[in-house]
Structure 1
Amino acid sequence: MGELKKQIEKAPDKPGVYLFRNKEGKYIYIGKAKNLKSRLKGHLQNLKVDPKEQKIFEESSKIEWIITKSDYEAFVLESELIKQYKPKYNVRLKSGSGYPMLVITDDEYPTVLISRKYGEIKGDYFGPFLPARTARAMKDLIHKLFKLRTCDPMPKRNMVCFDYHLGLCSAPCVGKISKSDYRFDAKSAKAFLSGNVKKVIYQLYDKIEEYKEKMLFEKASVIRDQITAMENLIQKQEVLGLPFEEADIFYFHGKKVLFVVVRGHRIVGKNFLDFKEYGLYEDFYEQVLTEYYGKGNYIPEEVILNVDIKEKENISKWLSDKKGEKVSIKNSIPDEILSFINRNFNFTDISVLEKIFRETFGFELPDRIEGFDISTLQGNFTVGSCVVWESGDMNKKEYRRFKVKTVKGIDDYASLREVLYRRFKKYMDMETPPLVLIDGGKGQLKQGLIVKDALGIKNLRIFSIAKKEEILYTDDGKEINLYENQELLKLFTKIRDEAHRFAVSYNRRLREKEGLKEVLDRIEGVGKKRKEILYRTYKTVDRIAEAPIEELKKLGIPEKVAQNIKRYLG
């Protein structure tokens, strides 16, 4: 740590990119700054309050930097370096590539293809499609409705292929359709994908009349199917007539990101973006945008957020350069879309919760709350759980479980003290520890205060919550009936119930594991290590009994012992 501080003191007061590197030489975090020294000193100041910041410094052995001519140049370089090195503490989408889009190609006889990188195929792009599997379904539908060729590239043939007989292709390769009619089908497919069906739907009705007059009833039937699909598309839209034709909407709720796609003045897709690793919170919004569009996803005319971001100008310029035309970033989501989000997703308004929390308890809603519970079966398999609520949602990556080691028999208070003592020791180096919520009443609260005093932690706040009555007890003597405040009730019962579920599931796992091991104890040649291997691999007696001897041998179990296992369990 001391060496890193010395390196920070040597950092220049200039714009650039900085890179944290570990002992193996891998970059684990990359950032940019208008002033490198000032930004790196900011990292040091956040060290005591941000667990992610602590991990970065603990794992780093060196800080490097690259000076740039401008803040925007630093922004672009940062994006490229993150894309190249994929640092573990920068935001990364779980999908290794962009979301699938459909492309109506620019060929003489266009077809429809799937692409995950905007611009790699010449043509008109539509999407992205969320969830990803809908892209394939939509491609199949385009072939079925508009008969765009299924082969790519288009071959020269004397006979039609099987897809023509299946009704998936109009066979331009053998002249079964005129070039003008085929290109009209491609135009109709584009209208269908974009949602702007009014541009072609009247022309489709004219086509029906034309084919009827020429006694081409089969072709008229195809057009009728296309019109029906377009009319159904319009009727199914919940939000229509938005004031912009296309936009990507990012709705941030803590570290959940709801992504809504607007095309053709309507919502065409929605999904939660899934990340491998959350970055530092202060850079989170910017990193989500650069990670998403850095994957090659389609860039619309507008990007709309429900938060304000520091890098708005840089990101807007970066997106505009990539798209080749102006891209605007706004932080005001239209009421129609907010109403749609509220109807379809159960989000708590953090700003409302913060206000209620401050008025009720006299201090700010913490970024992190840790919930604790104890689970036991008549004094056996006693375990504790620690679950984490962070910035609006449960963070399962931060959950911890404890096997109680020092308590024999039934003693919930002693078990709770052991678990809290082991966890609270982690708080001693924190400038701002989390708020603690214990499942239980005044007695459980008292155990938390005993541990707090024993460790001498001054600024730790502890609450407990009693089941059924839903009374919240605070360390400064308040007793709050949560039924009188629904926002606080949802917050604290969610954390309490999750702590209970996590503790019970761990208790059950230990019981199942012990039951299996008791069976394995009776088998000759199965010692402690082999019991662990069998448990980790198979989990249940039935699965071990079904395992072939050759499979057991691959786990390092001698053939004679494997035969004993099969004989005993068979």
Structure 2
Amino acid sequence: MSQIPIQVQLSSLPNQAGVYQFYDADDTILYVGKAKNLKKEGDFLLYQKSRVWKNEGYGKKIHRIKHIVVPTESDALLLENNLIKEYRPRYNVLLKDDKSYPWICLKNERFPRLFPTRRKIKDGSTYYGPYTSMKTVRTILDLVKSVYPLRTCNYDLSESKINDGKYKVCLEYHLGNCKGPCEGLQTLEEYERQISDIKEILKGNFKSSIHYFKGQMKTLSDNMQFEEAQRIKDKITVLENYQAKSTIVNPKISNVDVFSIISDNAFAYVNFLQLSHGSIVRSHTMEIKKKLDEGDKELLQLAIVEIRNRFKSESKEIYLPFKVVVDSELKATIPKLGDKKRILELSERNAKYYRQERFNQIKIIDPDRHTNRVMAQMKKDLRLSSEPRHIECFDNSNIQGSNPVAACVVFRDGKPSKKEYRHYNIKTVVGPDDFASMEEVVYRRYKRLMEEGESLPQLIVIDGGKGQLSSALKSLDVLGLRGKIAIVGIAKRLEEIYFPEDPIPLYLDKKSESLKIIQQLRNEAHRFGITFHRNKRSKAAINSELESIEGIGEKTAQELLKHFKSVKRIKEANLEGLSEIIGLSKAKKIYESFH
């Protein structure tokens, strides 16, 4: 049977919610996608040339399309997630988070134990978590054990064995860390009441424990058992201090999941905060590797399902930065102000910090990946046709028109290439004319590169606004380079980026890496130009001081400076020393002038 064309397969999809799967000629699954309407999704892929067909290598591999119809869009979301996890298709996003997380286990036994574990065993025990770090688990267990004495032994504390006196209390009992249920010194009812309070603490609710201890403390005080009352008071303080550290919003905000997303060209970072009784009981950030330029909306949908499944979340409400399709049983809120908005902003900050931390790590362990990512981001931010691997920046320096100079600095792969820096003395411009100076130096720079057959940059950055940018463009026009090299101007006041023939500037995020590289280029060009200008003015001032002496010209002044290095040393030199350099006649004139 002949192969049915992909266009025909796409156009024949049903008008139903569902999931579609792309297979190659070997019947290996390539991609899993979901759709509110499979027919419309097929039309979009076919006629609108979506991201699927931008990647020619991927498009050519698709051999067969299979689909599954489901009742609702939220069902499609869940099915897509399950299929991705089961088959791990090559072109679906990669959720880089497969490590084993720690849990807190409440053992299914008489007088239950509480301990950390990374293995879940189906024996009826209750597991709390998973937690994002063992440090968090230990902190919670330390809190619980400082308030509630629990057994740590693994004895079988059946009623018959306790009554037979099979066990003896251990050191933990004598240290006050256990009440000795092994010898019947603590009743099962009392122990179970402790466990009930501990369950609430593990859910983030401290109210029940604090209320119980306050009642107990009052009873002990009324009976004048002040030492016991003080011990209970210390437990209340421990609970209240821990609760105060974790409470960041209105305590009425309870059982809520918060999600936010930060992304760039290659990766997305989704942060998850879980709130219970106004406290953050869990925070986790997931890194997602993009495969086909997926959008934030699509990635956030996928991450919500994955994270909630992984952490066994039972929250019925979620806070989101924008509207996405979620499970029909969930209430989705997009906060606009107040405490809800602040908690969403906190989630976004967590995602940004995690992203920056990953960037810092990548700079050290994989600098090429870091460079590739930054170059791709600059291409996107500055609307370039290619990555700006070679960038040049120009700056003019003059004070009231004196000693006008210009500087050109060169960056390769986002880093300074100092051996390629160049200074220019302005030759054709009289007076302080920045526009004409910029036109001259840009023309000289690229005329020479073209004559010498050197490579041209992908991007030129001009230190200045629309005026300087227009002057530089005139030179590119004369050289026939207009349109062949991208060029932008950066104005100092608001760090706005100007493009040719576009009156509206671009304002990049102040923390944007693209803006940081442009600022670094501008600052480096300014530093390099100012240093050259300062040296030139200093040299001119020195020469003028010597040349002001009758009978001493520029050549003589340069000979003296070459030998003595400074005017100060020339002034301190004796007649004999001067004579050896420039002869007795001129030496007398200089010596007498300074003495």
Deviations 1:180-216 (A, max 9, x none): 2222322332333334333232321343466689999
Match of 1:299 in 2: 314
For residue 179 of structure 1, report the CA deviation from its aligned partner.
1.7
Q: Does the 8 Å CA contact 2:93/2:291 hold for their aligned counterparts?
A: yes
Q: Does the 8 Å CA contact 1:99/1:116 hold for their aligned counterparts?
A: yes
SS at match of 1:200: helix
The letter for the 2-side match of 1:475 is P
Distance 1:478 1:494, change over 3 A: farther
SS at match of 2:328: helix
1:265 aligns with 2:278: yes
- 1 CA distance for matches of 2:262 and 2:476? 31
For residue 336 of structure 1, report the CA deviation from its aligned partner.
0.7
- 2 CA distance for matches of 1:106 and 1:27? 42
Q: Does the 8 Å CA contact 2:23/2:65 hold for their aligned counterparts?
A: yes
Deviations 1:490-520 (A, max 9, x none): 448642214677999xxxxxxxxxxxxxxxx
Aligned partner (choices 287, 293, 316) of residue 328 of structure 2 = 316
For residue 84 of structure 1, report the CA deviation from its aligned partner.
0.8
Distance 1:175 1:54, change over 3 A: farther
SS at match of 1:96: coil
> How does 1:69-218 map onto structure 2 within 5 Å?
69-71=70-72, 73-96=75-98, 100-105=102-107, 107-114=109-116, 122=124, 129-130=131-132, 133-151=135-153, 158-161=167-170, 164=173, 168-208=177-217
Q: Does the 8 Å CA contact 2:496/2:508 hold for their aligned counterparts?
A: no
Match of 1:496 in 2: 515
Deviations 1:17-64 (A, max 9, x none): 21234567543421122433431332345646x499637835743343
Aligned partner (choices 279, 284, 287) of residue 302 of structure 2 = 287
1:274 aligns with 2:276: no
SS at match of 2:34: strand
> How does 1:449-464 map onto structure 2 within 5 Å?
453-454=483-484, 463-464=488-489
- 2 CA distance for matches of 1:59 and 1:503? 44
1:66 aligns with 2:67: yes
- 1 CA distance for matches of 2:317 and 2:272? 13
Distance 1:77 1:203, change over 3 A: closer
Aligned partner (choices 216, 226, 243) of residue 235 of structure 2 = 226
- 2 CA distance for matches of 1:332 and 1:118? 36
- 2 CA distance for matches of 1:145 and 1:84? 44
Match of 2:255 in 1: 246
- 1 CA distance for matches of 2:332 and 2:494? 47
For residue 81 of structure 1, report the CA deviation from its aligned partner.
0.8
Match of 2:42 in 1: 40
Q: Does the 8 Å CA contact 1:28/1:88 hold for their aligned counterparts?
A: yes
Deviations 1:363-420 (A, max 9, x none): xxx99415847579xxxx976337xxxxxxxxxxxxxx9999xx988698669x9576
Deviations 1:429-459 (A, max 9, x none): xxxxxxx89575556975999767349xxxx
For residue 217 of structure 1, report the CA deviation from its aligned partner.
8.5
Deviations 1:92-124 (A, max 9, x none): 443226865545455432333457799967566
1:473 aligns with 2:498: yes
Q: Does the 8 Å CA contact 1:191/1:199 hold for their aligned counterparts?
A: yes
Q: Does the 8 Å CA contact 1:4/1:61 hold for their aligned counterparts?
A: yes
- 1 CA distance for matches of 2:59 and 2:456? 25
Distance 1:373 1:112, change over 3 A: same
- 1 CA distance for matches of 2:48 and 2:310? 30
Q: Does the 8 Å CA contact 1:375/1:383 hold for their aligned counterparts?
A: yes
Aligned partner (choices 369, 372, 376) of residue 381 of structure 2 = 369
1:27 aligns with 2:40: no
Tell me the TM-score normalized by structure 1. Answer: 0.59
Q: Does the 8 Å CA contact 2:78/2:305 hold for their aligned counterparts?
A: no
For residue 248 of structure 1, report the CA deviation from its aligned partner.
0.4
**Which has the bigger relative contact order, CA under 8 A and spacing at least 6?**
1
Q: Does the 8 Å CA contact 1:383/1:503 hold for their aligned counterparts?
A: no
For residue 246 of structure 1, report the CA deviation from its aligned partner.
0.8
For residue 89 of structure 1, report the CA deviation from its aligned partner.
4.0
Q: Does the 8 Å CA contact 2:320/2:344 hold for their aligned counterparts?
A: no
Q: Does the 8 Å CA contact 1:16/1:74 hold for their aligned counterparts?
A: yes
Distance 1:213 1:34, change over 3 A: closer
SS at match of 2:144: helix
- 1 CA distance for matches of 2:216 and 2:251? 30
- 1 CA distance for matches of 2:191 and 2:350? 47
- 2 CA distance for matches of 1:94 and 1:228? 40
- 1 CA distance for matches of 2:222 and 2:190? 16
Distance 1:112 1:92, change over 3 A: farther
- 2 CA distance for matches of 1:468 and 1:289? 42
Could you say which structure has the larger radius of gyration? 2
Q: Does the 8 Å CA contact 1:14/1:67 hold for their aligned counterparts?
A: no
- 2 CA distance for matches of 1:245 and 1:476? 53
For residue 302 of structure 1, report the CA deviation from its aligned partner.
1.6
The letter for the 2-side match of 1:328 is K
Distance 1:242 1:126, change over 3 A: farther
For residue 277 of structure 1, report the CA deviation from its aligned partner.
4.0
The letter for the 2-side match of 1:473 is Y
Return 5+ residue gaps in structure 2 as ranges. 353-377, 393-408, 424-444, 524-595
Q: Does the 8 Å CA contact 1:239/1:336 hold for their aligned counterparts?
A: no
Question: Which one is further off, 69-78 or 152-161?
Answer: 152-161
RMSD: 5.1
For residue 145 of structure 1, report the CA deviation from its aligned partner.
3.1
Tell me the TM-score normalized by structure 2. Answer: 0.57
SS at match of 2:81: helix
Deviations 1:301-353 (A, max 9, x none): 222212111x23xx134xxxxxxxxx43333366213235557966999xxxx
- 2 CA distance for matches of 1:23 and 1:491? 48
Distance 1:65 1:292, change over 3 A: same
- 1 CA distance for matches of 2:238 and 2:481? 66
SS at match of 2:201: helix
Return 5+ residue gaps in structure 1 as ranges. 318-326, 350-365, 387-400, 422-435, 456-460, 483-487, 505-570
Question: Which one is further off, 33-42 or 444-453?
Answer: 444-453
- 2 CA distance for matches of 1:262 and 1:214? 39
Matched residues, number: 429
The letter for the 1-side match of 2:287 is D
Match of 1:331 in 2: 334
Distance 1:96 1:476, change over 3 A: same
SS at match of 1:274: strand
- 1 CA distance for matches of 2:233 and 2:517? 53
For residue 271 of structure 1, report the CA deviation from its aligned partner.
4.3
SS at match of 2:42: helix
The letter for the 1-side match of 2:254 is E
Deviations 1:242-268 (A, max 9, x none): 444211011345544332221023334
